[in-house]
Structure 1
Amino acid sequence: MVDLDLVRRIADAAEEADGAAPFDEATWLALRHRPDSVRCWVRDEGVALLIGEDLSLVVHPDLRRRGVGTALAAEAIPASGPVEAWSHGDHPAARALAARRGLERARELWVMRRPSSVPLPKLPARERIAVRDYEPDDAEAVVRVNAAAFAAHPEQGAMDLANLRERMAEDWFDPAGLLVAVDSPSGEVLGFHWTKQHSPALGEVYVVGISPAAQGRGLGKLLTLAGLHHLIGKGVDEVLLYVESDNAPAIAVYSGLGFQHAASDTHVQYRRV
């Protein structure tokens, strides 16, 4: 049985020291809902988790530079075969550890941020498109659009109905924060923007998914803007989002809406094939 309280304490201490959470949402969902799928190496000094090929490793900030990360990596990383690991915040120690274990830099995920003090443009009108709140009957359509929109995305594209329900069971879920764009008058779901409120001051553009068949109709900007209006209407001071560093079209949309990226706000995936 994993000591989730200990894992949480170490993760919280690392986040406070580093400015970035060491474990992503998928890892926490697996720990809480599918613990049998997680191989764990947990000690007071640090934690290593292996979910399939995905490695997460964190050392308590007060106990770093003592070989804890090296020891955990030696235990958790298989001698051969594919492994993937994220460094949340492009941490130098993670970079060095990855090099020692033969993992190469493979992907970069940008965090972009937007202060709510920057004025938002009004929502544009789109012919035959309506944006409304999520309804329970939309679940299968949202999963279908998500699968099509993120077919090449190894994490988000795998969301099924069970995973959707897991996410909706989280404390932060608000049905009013999941906006869907539908074709009028057919009612077909063309895209969605799932927002997240982390705290009274911080919101997130959590997922924006557009059906490939509806590309070119301005839905990405429309839904992103609708979600921003929702979050700012709830009083957040800042909105963040995550985007692949090579996704130029999405970065252009987000930049046009006032989001900016700082080099230090970069997450890096290391991989061994």
Structure 2
Amino acid sequence: MDSLHHARQIERVAALSEAADGTAPLDEATLMALRHPERFRSWVEGEAVAVLVDDQVSLVVAPEARGRGLGSKLLDQLLGDVGPGTRLEAWSHADHPAARHLAGRTGFERVRELWVMRRRTSIPLPRLDPPPGVRLRTYTDDDAEAVLRLNAAAFAAHPEQGAMDADNLAERMAEHWFDPAGLILAVDTSEGAEGRLLAFHWTKQHSRELGEVYVVGVDPEAQGAGLGRLVTLAGLHHLADLQVNEVLLYVESDNAAAIRVYRDKLGFTHASEDTHVMYRRPA
């Protein structure tokens, strides 16, 4: 079976899994990679699939095929093919007992937790009040270079987001959900600033009911001025105006400062089952 057929099977099994579990088993980067055969390797066993993108492993078993050892079999095949000296990472897009068992059996260690936090749009939002010298506006094509530059600086320690280049930006903006009105910029209007980009909030509308705080980036030189909260709030107002029922966001579980803002200032909550776990196998 060629890569194109594998990609279709992977997407089908992932859709079945998401419908049953309520959680997408593949992240955005993996789904994008499936469009490009040279970007991924795959292993398929009936209704079970494994995908390798760079050093990222994804393993999905359709609901009706679970409990037969197919996931374990595929993971063993993948590990045998890549060899014992290869560093690998894998996400469990829920803190699932089966993932913990497989990780322990194959030498993967739990290294990271990512929280999903949620808020209902029926909760009133604080007033949007930009400080003097800061203007909020929406994205235009002329802003691409500035967004990429700020994104690289803001996420230098986060390779998943910080590595975004012009091609990846264009690919994301070609998605059906992209709306330039949902990419909100905070620019410096003080004398001599020439509209320098200070922060941005890229929102995503998944469906009529669900929106997302997709990416919030703040220029490191502008940290501490409350711009992250400002652009996040602006995006929440935008999503509320679209009449979605709920907004979600992803945040590192150890990012206490961000969690405090999201929880105490913006009304987000976190449930224990809304925890994604990264496992890593050292080289």
Structure-2 residue corresponding to 1:145: 150
Contact kept in structure 1, 2:130 and 2:136, CA below 8 Å: no
2:119 corresponds to 1:114: yes
Q: Which ranges in structure 1 are unaligned for 5 or more consecutive residues? A: none
For 2:159 and 2:256, locate their aligned partners in 1 and report how far apart those are by CA, in whole Å. Answer: 19
User: Following superposition of structure 1 onto structure 2, how do residues 198-209 of structure 1 map, counting pairs within 5 Å?
Assistant: 198-209=206-217
Contact kept in structure 1, 2:45 and 2:74, CA below 8 Å: no
Report Cα offsets for 1:187-235 as digits up to 9, x if no partner.
Answer: 0011100000000000000000000001111101100000000001001
Q: Partner of 2:23: helix, strand, or coil?
A: coil
> Residue 79 of structure 1 is aligned with which of 80, 83, 88?
83
CA drift at 1:150? 0.7
CA distances 1:147-196 after superposition (whole Å, capped 9, x unpaired): 11111112111111111111001111000000011000420011100000
**What residue number does 1:31 align with?**
34
Match of 1:215 in 2: 223
The residue that corresponds to 1:187 in the other structure is 195
Question: Residue 142 of structure 2 aligns to which amino acid in structure 1?
Answer: D
- Counterpart for residue 64 of structure 1: 66
AA partner of residue 38 (structure 1): F
Shift of 1:105: 0.1
Answer whether contact 2:91 2:277 (CA < 8 A) is retained: yes
| Residue 173 of structure 2 corresponds to residue 168 of structure 1 | yes
TM-score by length of 1: 0.97
Counterparts of 1:175 and 1:99 in 2: how far apart (Å)? 44
How do 1:4-23 residues align onto structure 2 when only pairs under 5 Å count?
Answer: 4-23=7-26
The amino acid across from 1:79 in the alignment is: G
2:236 corresponds to: 228
1:69 is paired with a residue whose SS is: helix
Runs of 4+ in 1 over 4 A off after TM superposition: none
1:48 Cα shift? 0.4
The 10-residue stretch of structure 1 (233-242 or 150-159) with the greater mean CA deviation from structure 2: 150-159
1:179, 1:44 → 2: CA distance?
44
Equivalent residue number for residue 237 of structure 1: 245
Note if 1:262 corresponds to 2:279: no
- Secondary structure (helix, strand or coil) at the match of 1:199 reads coil
Give the secondary structure class of the aligned counterpart of 1:72: helix
Query: Residue deviations 1:223-250, cap 9 Å, x none?
Result: 0000000001001000000000011111
Q: Percent of aligned pairs with the same residue?
A: 61
Query: Once the 2 structures are TM-superposed, how far is the Cα of residue 96 of structure 1 from its aligned partner?
Result: 0.5
Match of 1:41 among 40, 43, 46: 43
Aligned residues: 272
Q: For 1:42 and 1:128, locate their aligned partners in 2 and report how far apart those are by CA, in whole Å.
A: 55
* Unmatched tracts of structure 2, length 5 or more: none
Q: Deviation at 1:18?
A: 1.7
